[in-house]
């Protein structure tokens, strides 16, 4: 699978390379462990605006983004969306609650441009934990980072003004933020799109 | 340390027993591993309303609650408090961001009644990871559960009405909720204490 002349497989080689580099930055894996770790992942391409997961389904995958970006959001009964976070290359995407407990997902995951990721099933992930104990450390660290990000998000929503949240968002997501519409930024910040335009105008006049 | 006639140490034995039971429910530890795991924890007692951590300090501990309960909250610049969660026996308390990255804590942790916990330092925790690889699994699972709880909290804050959040809170925290004042419940739900009284009256008339 890793040696091929096909364009698609060259592509997939590149994705696996990104995953390997991610793993190496976090844990001390030898080459055989790295190959064994990557083996059960399969490549998926998601078209712009298509859904990787819709609220109400059960989330059967955990995915490592290699290209493009996704938004992970919840919808209230009135259809108002709240973006929990955006995920670009090097980020993991799943509904952790649904994937772990195999319950109905409350999150939807949508690609905001044509995107690619490497996905693993729950069964394969459990097999990895059993076969390579160091995988525990990898996901302990990854889950801890996600928890830190979510805690900052919860505190920021409470403690910062909309303008401060906007500035923090651009420093947290420099690559993604520039490509987003005001509507998506608004549903992350918890304000109206008009309010985002207002902040943008205000900040522009300061420069 | 584990064999003593002193009242305090009997007490501490009980605490360690709770920690051991928690560990056994989550991972497959043998008795020597269990003892080695518990060894670096030390017992702390926190008086009612006293602080285990104040925002602005660096959090040097992770703690396993064995008695009483705590509230973990953030304060905005105007002094309004937002409770992220309450933690009773069998829960872990720390500012994960501050403890992991050794940065200034944004959370404060306050005991709501005379409480006890077993605490471990960052250095000792790192030593446990190195000495007993299964500790990775224990904290991977624990962190995952905390992440699920925080994700539910973020989604609930967005998607549910104050009354629904109130009812969910009582089903999530049956033991703790009954002992809390309206002020604490309000700062968890993100409403005023008057609004909590109103919900309580409304629900009482339905019974």
pLDDT digits (tens, 9 = 90+) for A154-195: 888 878 888 888 888 888 888 888 888 888 888 888 888 998
Q: B204: Cβ–Cβ under 8 A, 6 or more apart, which residues?
A: none
Task: Record the tokens describing residue B172, joined without a space.
Answer: 């999530």
Instruction: Flag if B151 and A100 touch (Cβ within 8 Å).
Output: no
Confidence label for B7 from pLDDT (cuts 50, 70 and 90)? very low
**Tokens 């006293």 label which residue?**
B50
> What value does the mean pLDDT of chain A take?
90
**Any chain A CB within 8 A of the CB of B102?**
no
Answer yes or no: is pLDDT of A126 > 80: yes
Q: Does the distance separating the beta carbons of A159 and B106 come in below 8 Å?
A: yes
Count CB-CB contacts under 10 A for residue A172: 15
Domain count across chain B: 1
Q: Which residue has the tokens 């890793």?
A: A2
Residue of B nearest to A75 (CA): B159
User: Which range, of A102-111, A129-138, A143-152, A180-189, averages the lowest pLDDT?
Assistant: A180-189
Domain range for A117: 7-133
Decide if A189 is inside a domain: no
Arithmetic mean of pLDDT, A87-113: 96
Contacts of B101 in chain A (CB under 8 A): 148
Q: How confident is the model at residue B160 (pLDDT cuts 50, 70, 90)?
A: confident
What average pLDDT does the segment B132-151 reach?
95
Chain B residues with beta carbon closer than 8 angstroms to that of A101: 148
Q: Is residue B179 part of a domain?
A: no
Write down the pTM of the prediction.
0.88
Higher pLDDT, residue B206 or B101? B101
CB contact, 8 Å: A51 with chain B?
no
Flag whether pLDDT at A138 surpasses 90. yes
Q: Would residue B152 count as lying in a domain?
A: no
Residue B108: which pLDDT band, with cuts at 50, 70 and 90? very high
Identify whether A67 is part of a domain: yes
Residue A173's nearest CA partner among A66, A85, A65 is: A85
Residues 6 or more apart from B104 whose CB is under 8 A from it? B55, B56, B57, B58, B98
Q: What pLDDT was estimated at residue A17?
A: 95
Contact, A47 vs A111, CB < 8 A?
yes
Tell me if B31 is assigned to some domain: yes
pLDDT of B2 higher than 60: no
Among B74, B134, B152, beta carbon nearest to A97: B152
Q: What pLDDT shows up at residue A158?
A: 77
Q: Is A181 in the B-facing interface, judged by CB distances under 8 Å?
A: no
Beta-bridge partners for B87: B70
pLDDT at A1: 40
Is the CB of residue B74 less than 8 Å away from at least one CB of chain A? yes
Q: What CATH number did the domain enclosing B13 receive?
A: 2.60.120.10
pLDDT above 90 covers what percent of chain A? 61
Backbone angles phi, psi at B98, to 5 degrees: -65, -45
Mean pLDDT, residues A85-93:
93
Q: Is residue B100 part of a domain?
A: yes
Instruction: Name the residue with higher pLDDT: B187 or B109.
Output: B109
- Check residue A202 and give its pLDDT: 85
| Cβ-defined contact of B155 to A74 (cutoff 8 Å) | yes
Say yes or no for a CB contact (<8 Å) between B155 and A96: no
- In the DSSP assignment, the letter for residue B89 is T
Determine the pLDDT at residue B207. 61
d(CA A115, CA A90): 12
Nearest to A139 among B95, B140, B160 (CB): B140
**Percent of chain A predicted with pLDDT > 70:** 95
Residue A153 lies in a domain: no
> Using a CB-CB distance cutoff of 8 angstroms, which residues of chain A are in contact with residue B147?
96, 143, 146-147, 150
Q: What are the CA-CA distances from residue B31 to residues A70, A79, B12, B38, B169 (Å)?
A: 45, 52, 18, 11, 37
**Which pLDDT score, from 0 to 100, does residue B95 have?**
97
Check CB contact under 8 Å for A101 and B77.
no
Query: Is A124 a member of any domain?
Result: yes
Would the ipTM clear 0.90, i.e. be above it?
Answer: no
Nearest to B74 among A75, A143, A155 (CB): A155
Smallest Cβ distance to B77: which of A74, A154, A159? A159
Token output for A8: 């698609």
- Residue B187's contacts (CB-CB under 8 Å, 6 or more residues apart) are B73, B80, B81, B82, B83
Among the residue ranges B21-30, B39-48, B96-105, B166-175, the one predicted with the least confidence is B166-175
Kindly give the residue spans of alpha helices, DSSP state H, lying in chain B: 7-26, 31-38, 96-101, 122-131, 134-159, 162-172, 174-177, 182-189, 193-206
Please determine, for residue A5, whether its predicted confidence score (pLDDT) is greater than 80: no
């Amino acid at each position: 699978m890793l040696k091929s002349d096909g364009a698609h497989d060259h592509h997939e080689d590149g994705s696996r390379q990104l995953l390997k580099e991610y793993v190496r930055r976090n844990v001390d894996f030898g080459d055989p462990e790295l190959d064994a770790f990557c083996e059960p992942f399969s490549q998926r391409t998601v078209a712009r605006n298509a859904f990787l997961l819709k609220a109400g389904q059960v989330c059967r995958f955990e995915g490592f983004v290699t290209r493009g970006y996704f938004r992970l959001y919840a919808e209230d009964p009135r259809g108002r969306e709240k973006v929990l976070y955006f995920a670009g290359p090097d980020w993991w995407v799943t509904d952790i609650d649904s994937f772990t407990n195999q319950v109905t997902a409350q999150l939807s995951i949508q690609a905001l441009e044509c995107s690619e990721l490497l996905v693993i099933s729950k069964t394969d992930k459990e097999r990895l934990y059993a076969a390579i104990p160091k995988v525990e450390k990898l996901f302990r660290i990854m889950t801890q980072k996600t928890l830190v990000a979510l805690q900052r998000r919860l505190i920021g929503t409470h403690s910062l003004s909309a303008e401060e949240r906007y500035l923090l968002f651009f420093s947290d997501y420099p690559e993604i933020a520039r490509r987003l519409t005001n509507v998506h930024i608004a549903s992350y910040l918890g304000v109206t799109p008009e309010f985002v335009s207002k902040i943008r105008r205000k900040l522009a006049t300061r420069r």
